[in-house]
Structure 1
Amino acid sequence: MNQPLRHAHDQMFSDLIRTRTGIQLPVHRRQMIESRLRPRILAVGAKGFDGYLAQLFDNGLLEEELPLVIDLLTTNKTDFYREATHFDVLVREIVPEAIRRSAPIPPRLKIWSAASSEGAEAYTIAIVLAECLRAGKNFFYAILGTDISQRMLERAQRAIYTKEQLSPIPAELRARYTMQGRAPAHAGTARMVPELRDRVQFMHLNLMDRTYPVDRDVDVIFLRNVLIYFGAEDQASVVSRLVGHLRPGGYLIVGHSESMVVSHPQMKQHSPSIFRKT
């Protein structure tokens, strides 16, 4: 493939992924991109990454392949109890505050995990809230998990995890909120109990969409370690759209490395990486 055409395809591909997902793909990451897309390169019989791009843009494979491409390029890093201080704030401050505000009627907390991947964040939230209920606090809650990757959403809906994945959960809570796999095919795995699965729903959503089919009175939105992959303009647009779905006094929680990203006239910093809508 001649160099001008190769560079044109590279730029077209980079622009396409940024427009559709917000993810920026610098040229120096070409080797990483090719590695992640290798399953699709082999599946369509392309001659390397350049041949694959040619098939996408010149041979009409783009719309068919694009969902698979996005799925492979999405960073799906997720852990239970990741950045645990956020869950501490949820339990110590946000839940009691909601109860006081709603008294004497128990509040119904709406929490949105806006880049839920395979569900570890959403189910961590469910566990800590279930523990609040066990401790005698009186409230209801519902959790929505959304993600751009259909493959990750399917895993989240199954709610089956390996023992290694579940290891960050304290042993007592693992025993209480997971069920060990008994069939040979599920050896070494456990599934979240129905009590938690019933409180969490998952839905496909692209943060780059202009509108989100989500309630506009959400109490807490978790969007952690996602905005770092976006350019400044897309970061601001996503934050603005998310703010529109928070109730007054609602919270936006981002990754600890993303505190400087959130700049919105309606959001006031509560603590590092936690912002509250005025």
Structure 2
Amino acid sequence: MAGIDKAREFEYTLDDFNFLRKISNRHSGILVPDDKFDMFYSRLSKRVRRLGFNRFAEYCQYLQDHPEQEFTEFINAVTTNLTSFFREMHHFEFVAQTLLPELLKKNQAQKQIRVWSAGCSTGEEPYSLAMTLLENVPRDWDIKILATDLDTNVLAVAAEGVYPLDRVATIGEQRLRDWFQKGSGSQNHKVRIKSPVRQLIHFKQLNLMQDWPMKGGFDFIFCRNVLIYFDRETKQRLANRYAGLLRAGGYLFIGHSESLHQLDTPFTLLGNTIYQYEKNRI
């Protein structure tokens, strides 16, 4: 057992960390490396304090004995959520300049576009997608965006669609006028996503490791900076599950530090971490 750090508010050992990361991995599939030892302490200290414990071992026991009450709080605390509007801008440029013109021809009969933002965090990604679609798709088309995340706290923020002004500092003036409403009075330091954008998105809690209720038919899927947390086998399984929900020729967007290289999937790399689904490849 690791020694106790006297400088910490709560007793916290390597045994505690190993117990907690094992539960996290079993539930979410996310690999937690050794260097996240301090991160787990800082993120869970608030829960330990609120529950009146002096040692993380007490929290581990409580989590084991009362999963219904505590498990969601635990997962929310240890999940990483880093995002911004129009992050990795080249993806949105590809959507606007290449993907949507293709879909406007391909889906002309039904005039329908379906998108999934998997791992949507606090909502900036799906809202950025919604703005891009509204700017480039005729108004009489039926657009729906599913936005999912494991963390219920970030989903609540996303569904509200309210952000501090500094979160939209890099967005152009035209987009700010078109899609954001500035707060007044006590809310003058915040903005809210306008209703036409919010109405396109359905936010839902989803664990990627469990069953997916969606039937598919997505034209493209954004799953960025999610695969990086999984082992090779899980990455391959997830990529193939995504393929199963895409229409033939659909697209998968992943994060800049991620790759499907050397994985057995029906995707072809187009460049810039953009992949296309080839139905008959496997």
TM-score computed with the length of structure 2 as normaliser: 0.88
Letter in 2 for 1:219: D
In structure 1, the residue matched to 2:195 is 194
Matched, 1:32 2:44: no
Letter in 2 for 1:34: Y
Identity of aligned residues (%): 29
- What displacement does 1:263 show? 2.7
Measured against aligned partners, the alpha-carbon deviations of 1:187-208 in whole angstroms (never above 9, x if no partner) come to 2111111111111110110111
In structure 1, the residue matched to 2:56 is 49
Measured against aligned partners, the alpha-carbon deviations of 1:116-170 in whole angstroms (never above 9, x if no partner) come to 111100000111111113xx68743211110011111111110001111112221
Query: Unpaired segments of 5 or more residues in structure 1?
Result: none
- What displacement does 1:2 show? 8.7
Cα distance in 2 for residues equivalent to 1:145 and 1:121: 9
What secondary structure, in the 3-state scheme, does the structure 1 residue paired with 2:95 have? helix
Cα distance in 2 for residues equivalent to 1:18 and 1:183: 44
- What displacement does 1:40 show? 0.5
| 8 Å CA contact 1:236, 1:262 repeated in 2 | no
Task: Please give the residue correspondences for 1:1-278 in structure 2 after superposition, counting only pairs within 5 Å.
Answer: 8-57=15-64, 60-103=65-108, 105=109, 107-133=111-137, 139-184=141-186, 186-209=187-210, 211-260=211-260, 263-278=263-278
Letter in 1 for 2:159: Q
- What displacement does 1:213 show? 1.3
Cα distance in 1 for residues equivalent to 2:246 and 2:237: 15
What secondary structure, in the 3-state scheme, does the structure 1 residue paired with 2:265 have? coil
| Alpha-carbon spacing, 1:29–1:140, altered in 2? closer, same or farther (3 Å) | same
What secondary structure, in the 3-state scheme, does the structure 2 residue paired with 1:203 have? strand
| 8 Å CA contact 2:236, 2:265 repeated in 1 | no
| 8 Å CA contact 2:240, 2:266 repeated in 1 | no
Measured against aligned partners, the alpha-carbon deviations of 1:57-114 in whole angstroms (never above 9, x if no partner) come to 4xx13442211010011111010010000001101111111112234x3631101100
| 8 Å CA contact 2:143, 2:200 repeated in 1 | yes
| 8 Å CA contact 1:239, 1:262 repeated in 2 | no
- What displacement does 1:224 show? 0.4
Cα distance in 1 for residues equivalent to 2:162 and 2:262: 33
Identify the structure with the greater helix proportion.
1
Cα distance in 1 for residues equivalent to 2:262 and 2:50: 40
| 8 Å CA contact 2:164, 2:191 repeated in 1 | yes
What secondary structure, in the 3-state scheme, does the structure 1 residue paired with 2:43 have? helix
| 8 Å CA contact 1:46, 1:55 repeated in 2 | no
Bigger mean CA offset, 26-35 vs 78-87: 26-35
| 8 Å CA contact 2:181, 2:194 repeated in 1 | yes
| 8 Å CA contact 1:147, 1:203 repeated in 2 | yes
- What displacement does 1:215 show? 3.1
| 8 Å CA contact 1:179, 1:190 repeated in 2 | yes
Cα distance in 2 for residues equivalent to 1:190 and 1:28: 36
What secondary structure, in the 3-state scheme, does the structure 2 residue paired with 1:77 have? coil
Bigger mean CA offset, 217-226 vs 267-276: 267-276
| 8 Å CA contact 1:76, 1:117 repeated in 2 | yes
Cα distance in 1 for residues equivalent to 2:35 and 2:133: 43
| 8 Å CA contact 1:9, 1:54 repeated in 2 | no
TM-score computed with the length of structure 1 as normaliser: 0.90
Cα distance in 1 for residues equivalent to 2:20 and 2:68: 13
Cα distance in 2 for residues equivalent to 1:125 and 1:265: 25
